[in-house]
Amino acid sequence: MREPVIGIDLGTTNSAVASVEEGRPRVIPSRAGGRLTPSVVGLTPKTGERVVGGKAQALAEEHPECVVWATKRFIGRRFTPELLQAAKAVVPYQLVGGNTGDVRVKMAGRTVPVTQVSAMILGELKLDAEAHFGRPVNKCVITVPANFDDGQRQATREAATIAGLDAIRLINEPTAAALAYGLSRGFQGHALVFDLGGGTFDVTVLEITDGVYEVKATGGDPALGGEDFDLKIVEWLLAQVEDSHRELVHRDAVSMRKLKVAAEQAKRELTEYEETLISLAGLGDHTQGGWKLTGLETALTRDFFEQLIAPLSKRCLDVCASVMQEARMDPRSVDTVLLVGGMTRVPLIRRLVADFFGKAPSTDVNPDEAVALGAAIHADELARQSGAALLLDVVGNSLSVGVLGGRVRRLINKNSSVPVVAKELFYPGSHGQTEARISIYQGESDLQDENRKLGEVVLRNLQGTSRTDTPLEVTFELSNEGILSVRAADLKTGLSEAVRLEARPHLPGQEAERLVKEQAAYAQKQAREDAQKTEDKFRKLLERGDKLAKLLQQSAKENPGEQAEAAVTNVQSLLDSGRAALESGDAEQCAQVARQLNQLLSGR
């Protein structure tokens, strides 16, 4: 049997893992029983034991200082005062810088690299997949936001390596969603993917024809997502706290966590109802043993919520307008609009999208699962090398070289098709210069300070006496995954140097190796515990299967026929196979029988 290959949506708020089974993409349920895993990680206060997902959310109720979430916003970013200031408005936990400039979080008194936090989430999804298949799972496709830069993509790969996964491809989230939609619905034409997730917003226009997915334009806002919409409710709730307690509540981590959870719950309820009641107790300074605690009772209507989030909603439409302009298309010429991300369930968002594009958006695909399903489809395509779908993606952001005067010269324009190679000649800034530092920038501005610096290529031992005697050829090569390689060469001497992204944060080699070993030890321990739980669940499943077999036998007696007899034979065969696998300790066979029995029992 071919080795399982999985698709992973590593999300800001929730993550999911999926696979293609019997020709159909399916979300793999977590070992905890859900279809989504909250992207929340914690360390228990006394033992430092890691908890991920729902367990981490539960830990946050009593020990918010031991839990972090929405760390995807910081992965692959360089720690700067500006980033720190922006983070304070979104998350309560502390960010610190690592030795190489990477971002780290304070959690339960420990300093943990953001890359490791992502690795913990990926490791949990890997364990879910292995429990599902009853065998090791190593290869995967991971989705990333379309506007992720080289550093963020490389950091995602680094997290996968720490988690023991071989990321055979990174694929943009909107493209993955369109892949799931296109293959499952047989769609042809222009599709727009409106992807409003927990932390980022992406818009992508694709032309889908006979299995070819060609991206026409893509854009987004890396600092706009469900977390920001929640924050609007939190700010409103905080303003209603009594004046004498407001500052205490604002400084208290437990209280702010209560407001955050209440805001998320209110947002969900307003998707279905016109009004929601919010009742909170125990707000105040918990560091003083519950001294001076207060409560809050209020109601939030859908109309007022929509007023609160109107500025954020307008930012979504501004991005849509920009992307349509870059695609040189009228919004109403889009054939279908696909909603992705939990925030797209908000009625205001759906109304605005419908008004802007002149048609109701598609709701056929679960917005929380579409990205993972698309990743699974692409993973299956790569594993089988079937060529059923061809992805033609584009550059999410322009790539440039810094030049004199604080400006940049663009080598690769935004929305250029990938893979792409671009070359251009440059000259040293002064005569007799022996070293050239060629800075690489990402962004749409003509000014260096308004773009993001990705790194540098350093050429030493230049020998020309005049600037014009030293032509330097700079080559940008961008892969179809958005990974950037840069090379600079002195054409006079033949001296060349590959990119050294000194500005790109990364984990030191020894620390990365230690984290890999730490993750492997955790996975082995967890797998042993899971094996016993899985066996117990499987025995109970066989008992349910026995009941189903008896019901089918009774039905076959009352209504005899070939179909009824075949149903009895099928279930009995599965039960016999399951008991034999249990007796021989064949975990993979047990998992296969479990999947088939669950489908029968659920009527799918």
Which residue carries 């990321």 as its tokens? 167
Q: How many CA atoms lie within 13 A of 544 on its CB side?
A: 15
Q: Answer whether 457's CB lies under 8 Å from 145's CB.
A: no
Give catalytic residues, as residue numbers. 9, 72, 173, 195
Cβ count within 10 A of residue 47:
8
SS3 418: coil
Residues 6 or more apart in contact with residue 253 via CB below 8 angstroms: 64, 65, 92, 286
Contacts of 533 (CB under 8 A, 6+ apart): 31
Structure token pair of residue 587: 């975990």
Task: Give the residue from 226, 524, 184 showing the smallest Cα distance to 380.
Answer: 184
Dihedral of alpha carbons 556, 562, 563, 565, sign:
positive
What stretch of H or E contains 52? strand 50-52
Euclidean distance between the first and final Cα of the chain, in Å?
24
Closest CA to 182 of 35, 333, 338: 338
> 269: which DSSP letter?
H
Distance between CA 13 and CA 71 in Å, rounded?
9
Q: CB under 8 Å to 117, separation ≥6 — which residues?
A: 41, 68, 71, 105
Residues in CB range of 252: below 8 A, 6 or more apart? 283, 284, 285, 286, 287
- Tokens representing residue 281 in the block: 């107790």
How far, in Å, CA of 436 to CA of 431, rounded? 12
Q: Which residues contact 272 (CB under 8 A, 6 or more apart)?
A: none
Q: In this structure, are residues 401 and 426 in contact, taking their beta carbons and an 8 Å threshold?
A: yes
Which residues, including other chains, have CB under 8 Å from residue 338's CB and lie 6 or more apart?
177, 178, 181, 191, 192, 193, 194, 361, 362, 365, 370
Distance CA 330, CA 320 (A): 11
Cα 373 from chain centre: 13
Q: What is the rounded CA–CA span in Å between residue 295 and residue 279?
A: 8
Task: For 99, list phi and psi in degrees, rounded to 5.
Answer: -60, -30
Q: How far, in Å, CA of 236 to CA of 573, rounded?
A: 59
CA atoms in the 13 A half-sphere facing the CB of 551: 8
Is there a contact between 179 and 208 (Cβ–Cβ < 8 Å)? Answer: no
The answer to whether the beta carbons of residues 568 and 556 sit under 8 Å apart is: yes
**Selection from 436, 437, 445 nearest residue 408 by Cα:** 445
Tokens, residue 100:
């190489």
Establish whether the linkage from the previous residue to 419 is cis, with ω within 30° of 0: yes
